[in-house]
Amino acid sequence: MAPKLPTSWAQLPPAFLLPDAFLPLIAKRGVKNGWSTAVPRSKPNRFNQQTAGLPTLTQSPAAALARKAYTLPLRTGALGIKKGMTAIYDPETGIRTACTVLQLDRLQVVAHKTRDKHGYYAVQVGAGWKHASNVPMALLGHFTGAGVSPKRHVAEFRVKDEKGLLGVGQSIEPDWFIEGQFVDARANCRGMGFEGGMKRWGFSGQGASHGNSKNHRTMGSSGGSQGSGSRVLPGKKMPGRMGGQQVTTQNVKVLKVDKEKGLVILSGCVAGPKGCIVKIQDAVKKPWPVIPEAVGTVKEALKATA
């Protein structure tokens, strides 16, 4: 055991008689205080800078944003309400295309998420309208602070940087999307309820005959016995609640846009029942759409006159 340092007041003259150098040294090394006498490395110093030859951190918020920068859309998306499906005929070729009709309803930007405050850039968008008496006070304050009416649906759209932050209170019309461009549409799919293994996971079911008794659609074995551990492995596919999860349909073409009726016509089908809310944003797997300058200038002109 290390000898005890003299700490008793009785063994030394009073402190006011002693210079600082004679005062007892209190040990600052040890398991309790960490053995290293170096400056803690958590703070950036000249040794852990990029120039020090050390690899840059790949698990920092900044690194995460840099990784995502390639796939994050440059501008915000929109919230639509799925109204149903119909078809469009190309008058020249006569080709029929099944399409989904979405309606945008009083879309406005409610808030921004910024790198400084929240760690990422996103645009919070609200759609529809809700009576103020049905909105909690805190949420109402959120809407009032943004200068918009209370919204029925609120969603966030991540964007790459602050250039993609559309001004708070600005409304998003169907002509935000360009006819012919591609979008990603995401919605909560239709809920199927409690479903068996055949429908939920595509199990083959069991034989109709050969002595099968009242087990035609049940799942077979749920795993091996003693040699395999005599247990059901986590994640085993079994009957249960099916549907209701978010489904993203990538690269959906925008066939038509109708500003007067607030319609966006998408090619093909989109997950979810009629009346469900659908998030659409520029497709990440296609080149970003080229926004004609005219749209922006016309909008500005309209604003100036209004």
In the complex, minimum distance from the CB of residue 263 to other proteins, in angstroms, rounded to a whole number: 6
x/- letters, 160..179, toward other proteins (CB under 8 A): -----------x-xx-----
Per the DSSP assignment, residues forming a β-bridge with 158 are 122
Q: Which of residues 98-157 bind other proteins (CB under 8 A)?
A: 101, 103-106, 108, 129, 132, 137, 140-141, 143-145, 147-150
Candidate ranges 39-47, 178-186, 199-207, 255-263; the one touching other proteins (CB under 8 A): 255-263
Per the DSSP assignment, residues forming a β-bridge with 117 are none
Comparing CB distances to other proteins, the nearer of 144 and 222 is: 144
Q: Which of residues 5-44 bind other proteins (CB under 8 A)?
A: 9
In the complex, minimum distance from the CB of residue 88 to other proteins, in angstroms, rounded to a whole number: 7
CB neighbourhood size of 121 (10 A): 21
Q: Which of residues 258-277 bind other proteins (CB under 8 A)?
A: 258-263, 265
Query: Which residue type occupies 174?
Result: P
Asked if 195 touches other proteins (CB under 8 A), the answer is no
* Sign, CA torsion 25/28/31/36: negative
Residue-by-residue DSSP string for the chain: -PPPP---GGGS--GGGS-GGGSPPPP--BTTTBS--SPPTTS--TTSSGGGTPPPPSSSHHHHHHHHTTTS-SS--EEEEEEEEEEEE-TTT--EEEEEEEE--S-EEEEEE-HHHHSS-EEEEEES---GGGS-HHHHHHHHHHT----SEEEEEE-SSGGG-PPTT-B--GGGSPTT-EEEEEEEPPEEEEE-HHHHH------SSTT--S-SSS----S--GGGTSSPPTT---SEEEE-SEEEEEEEEEEEEETTTTEEEEES--SS-TT-EEEEEE-TTSPPP---HHHHHHHHHHHHH-
Asked if 94 touches other proteins (CB under 8 A), the answer is yes
Comparing CB distances to other proteins, the nearer of 33 and 97 is: 97
In the complex, minimum distance from the CB of residue 155 to other proteins, in angstroms, rounded to a whole number: 17
In the complex, minimum distance from the CB of residue 147 to other proteins, in angstroms, rounded to a whole number: 6
x/- letters, 62..91, toward other proteins (CB under 8 A): -------------------x-xx-xxxxxx
CB neighbourhood size of 255 (10 A): 18
Comparing CB distances to other proteins, the nearer of 151 and 160 is: 151
Asked if 240 touches other proteins (CB under 8 A), the answer is no
Give how many residues touch other proteins by CB under 8 A.
41
Comparing CB distances to other proteins, the nearer of 39 and 138 is: 138
> Interface residues with other proteins (CB under 8 A)?
9, 81, 83-84, 86-92, 94, 96, 101, 103-106, 108, 129, 132, 137, 140-141, 143-145, 147-150, 171, 173-174, 258-263, 265
